[in-house]
DNA sequence: ATCGCTGTATTATGGCAGTGATGCAGTATG
DNA sequence: CATACTGCATCACTGCCATAATACAGCGAT
């Protein structure tokens, strides 16, 4: 299940998430407008809006109508915790199972880092 | 991206792969018929057929029309190698990136095992 | 008030993936 | 040949995704 085969609105969601986690968009910052981000990513404004929608439902962004969408206070920690929980619960177990089944040791994986 | 949210035919494919890797279906053995496996898994025969289709394209099973599908010779090693390569190339990198981003250490993951 | 930006709602359309019901074709067995 | 099993092909239905063309509503600066 690669990133390339994901729906666009989910990929956009990931891009935003990573940007917030990496501090590119700090708390209080305004996110790119729907139309601007659509142009930047070569996507449809509606698709971007759909991607943004989930964030406001989770309280990660604050919407100022007519102005823009802003990274909510505490969003970074909240996002981090949610992603950590998801990783431990949903991502890691199948990975570990596959490593056991294929007899892949951690040694083989921890060398080629950037 | 959980196992639960995968298309049925991909889940069936995984079940077969694991059964071959674990030796449940040895090389030369006949796989369950499309209809039998469909009943067993509560799926549609066509969906099972679609799951089987990929295996014959990869030369992992030999089809004897009117008889059944048989695990090809060398299928286990071939499958293992393919899955190892796919894991190292496609699965592990995003996992490692996410671990770095979320600052998840291996220590947290290697304790609660079965 | 006007202009230019912001997000949002509406409706419609095309494409594609997943699933399903039915029937046909090949093979072994009697 | 008849039967009962195999895989496989065709057609159709459904839902999700993405896009499009508008239009509307809120805010700020001139």
pLDDT in tens, A5-28: 778 899 999 999 999 999 999 999
Using CA atoms, how far apart are residues A8 and A26, in angstroms rounded to an integer?
24
**Separation of A77 CA and C17 C1' (Å):** 36
- Check if residue B33 sits with its Cβ under 7 angstroms from strand D: yes
Q: How many structural domains are present in chain A?
A: 1
- Cβ-based neighbours of B30, under 8 Å, separated by 6 or more: B67, B68, B69, B70, B71
Query: At B48, which CATH number?
Result: 1.10.10.10
pLDDT of residue A108: 85
**For tokens 């509560």, what's the residue?**
B42
Q: Which structural domain, as residue segments, surrounds residue A82?
A: 1-114
* pLDDT attached to residue B69: 95
Q: Does A104 touch chain B (CB under 8 A)?
A: yes
Q: Could you give the CA distance from residue B112 to residue A56 in angstroms, rounded to a whole number?
A: 34
In the prediction, which pLDDT does B114 show?
A: 44
Helix (H) or strand (E) holding A97: helix A92-102
Whether A99 shows a pLDDT value over 70: the answer reads yes
List of chain B residues whose C-beta atoms are within 8 Å of the C-beta of residue A96? 109, 113
Q: Name the pLDDT band for B39 (thresholds 50, 70, 90).
A: very high
Share above pLDDT 90 across residues of chain B, in percent, rounded to a whole number:
82
Residue B113: pLDDT above 80? no
Give CA torsion, residues A80, B96, B87, B113, to 10 deg.
-70
Q: Which residues in chain B have Cβ-Cβ distances shorter than 8 Å to A104?
A: 84, 87-88
Over the stretch A34-61, which tens digit does the pLDDT of each residue have? 999 999 999 999 999 999 999 999 999 9
Contact at 8 Å (CB) between A73 and A27?
yes
pLDDT band at B29 (very low <50, low <70, confident <90, very high): very high
Say yes or no: Cβ of B8 under 7 A from any atom of strand C.
Answer: yes
């Amino acid at each position: 299940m690669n990133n390339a085969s994901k729906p666009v609105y989910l990929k956009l969601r990931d891009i935003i998430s990573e940007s917030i986690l990496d501090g590119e968009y700090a708390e209080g910052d305004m996110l790119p407008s729907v139309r601007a981000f659509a142009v930047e990513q070569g996507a449809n404004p509606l698709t971007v809006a759909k991607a943004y929608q989930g964030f406001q439902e989770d309280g990660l962004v604050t919407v100022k109508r007519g102005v823009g969408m802003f990274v909510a206070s505490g969003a970074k920690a909240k996002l981090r915790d949610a992603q950590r929980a998801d990783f431990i619960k949903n991502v890691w177990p199948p990975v570990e199972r596959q490593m056991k089944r294929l007899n892949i040791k951690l040694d083989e994986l921890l060398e080629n880092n950037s």
